[in-house]
Amino acid sequence: MIIKLIIGLGNPGPKYEHTRHNIGFCVVDALAKKFSGSFIEEIKFKCLTAAFDFEQTRIILAKPQTFMNESGQAVSRLKKFFKIANSEILVVHDEVDLPLKKIRLSFDISSAGHNGVQSIIDHIGQNFHRLRVGTDSRSSRLEVDTYDYVLQNFTAEEEELLHKKIIPAAVAEIEKKFLRRS
């Protein structure tokens, strides 16, 4: 059986639950819900994990509990334990270089300045898939510093848009282009 790993990036704890940086957690939560997966704490992996079978593939979902900038620790542990090739890993994360509502699936070798992605590259190398979920709705980057911006909560209107359109679109993209890919 093929094993694929889908990592949602975010920061643990209620303080960060509704922040832009936690969109990766939101997407893997939606995947777990759609495919009846339940998250459990896996201390040895430093994450919460859920699993389900999709056709002939075992899918492992993970939400690192190391905080964003140390995500590579958890990903490395999962990769080694399950013997998963980088090409079978998808990292879902926020992207301030994309406007809110945009999603982009790519197979990149660069972190493009995202510290969580860079941590993963530092621990497992390159050549894994990324689903970037746009989170920028600022009229200008001068409005709020990017570091502070990603730790801000979504507005009520943005939350509604996330749950009605953006997250379902991200889940559909993952199912179509990553889960069904052999």
The residues annotated with a catalytic role in the active site are 21
Distance CA 169, CA 26 (A): 12
H helix intervals, the chain: 23-34, 71-82, 115-124, 146-150, 156-161, 167-174
* Contact in structure between 25 and 42 (CB atoms under 8 Å): no
How far the first Cα of the chain sits from its last, in Å, is: 12
User: What is the gyration radius of the CA atoms in the chain, in angstroms?
Assistant: 15
Distance CA 13, CA 3 (A): 28
